[in-house]
């Protein structure tokens, strides 16, 4: 079932700081928490993420583009943040980099589960590579050893207090109810994959953003910020249901 773990392990083999990837669960070992009526029957990944993991033939089967980004024309965008961003505008570079992050694979099945629950439905779902690092905060669910990382359940329940855990870092994730689960916890300054952005605000790629992408298959090249927005060097365009909202009180 968990076919993505093999290319993830192969990708991380030459990176000592990614050793935890070798402890990802095999299909027979995978445990996960889902709401009643749901089951996990496999994995899915974005086209760009599959390319990073070495998949071939994707452009032939699905076309050369990895997606597209649609920008809401109701928002005013500032296209050059070098001199700051106008208080009544959204920073275009932040929004674009965030959306590219989703297409690269910063995505969680918890959003699909939350949507189905909202519709009064249940069913089978597919985890994402990022979900393999999603755990719930609490006794018996928070791994502290490689063996526990393998065996403890992945947290796929909307509303759960979940975090991204690679045995080096525990980074709070959005719970899928207050904001979409395919993000860091809101308004903590964790990284560009924060679910909200204020007018006049600039957000940069963080070590947390890069660590997540590193572990799901990407090779990270160090380039000084803010040019690091473009460090991936492949004009990936995509949209995975993310919307920018003005934060309350700002």
Residue ranges of domains in the chain: 5-230
pLDDT higher than threshold 90 for residue 248: no
What is d(CA 122, CA 125) in angstroms, rounded to the nearest whole number?
9
Bridge partners for 195 per DSSP: none
What is d(CA 181, CA 111) in angstroms, rounded to the nearest whole number?
6
pLDDT higher than threshold 60 for residue 249: no
For 140-155, letters b (16+ CB in 10 Å) and e give ebebeeeebbbebbbb
Residue 11: the pLDDT is: 77
Mean predicted confidence (pLDDT) in 170-187: 97
* Geometric angle at alpha carbon 102, from 244 and 80, rounded to 5°: 55
* Confidence band of 182 (pLDDT split at 50, 70, 90): very high
Average per-residue pLDDT for the chain: 87
Bridge partners for 132 per DSSP: none
What is d(CA 225, CA 214) in angstroms, rounded to the nearest whole number?
17
| 8 Å CB contact between 161 and 177 | no
pLDDT higher than threshold 50 for residue 243: no
Question: Structure pTM?
Answer: 0.85
Mean predicted confidence (pLDDT) in 180-189: 97
């Amino acid at each position: 079932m968990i076919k993505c773990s093999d290319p993830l392990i192969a990708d991380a083999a030459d990176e000592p700081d990614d050793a935890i990837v070798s402890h990802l669960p095999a299909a027979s070992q995978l445990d996960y928490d889902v709401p009643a009526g749901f089951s996990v029957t496999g994995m899915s990944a974005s086209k760009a993420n599959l390319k990073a993991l070495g998949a071939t033939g994707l452009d032939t089967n699905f076309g050369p583009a990895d997606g597209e980004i649609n920008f809401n024309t109701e928002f005013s965008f500032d296209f050059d943040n070098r001199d700051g961003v106008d208080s009544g505008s959204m920073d275009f570079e932040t929004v674009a980099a965030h959306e590219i992050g989703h297409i690269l694979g910063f995505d969680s099945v918890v959003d699909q589960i939350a949507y189905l629950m909202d519709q009064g439905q249940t069913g089978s779902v597919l985890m994402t590579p990022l979900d393999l690092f999603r755990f719930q905060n609490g006794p018996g669910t928070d791994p502290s050893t490689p063996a526990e990382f393998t065996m403890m359940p992945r947290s796929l329940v909307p509303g759960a207090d979940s975090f991204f855990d690679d045995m080096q870092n525990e980074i709070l994730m959005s719970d899928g109810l207050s904001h979409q689960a395919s993000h860091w916890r809101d308004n903590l300054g964790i990284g560009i994959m924060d679910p909200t952005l204020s007018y006049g605000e600039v957000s940069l790629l963080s070590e947390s953003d890069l660590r997540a992408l590193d572990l799901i298959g990407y090779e990270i090249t160090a380039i000084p910020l803010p040019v690091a927005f473009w460090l991936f060097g492949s004009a990936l365009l995509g949209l995975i249901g993310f919307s920018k909202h003005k934060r309350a009180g700002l």
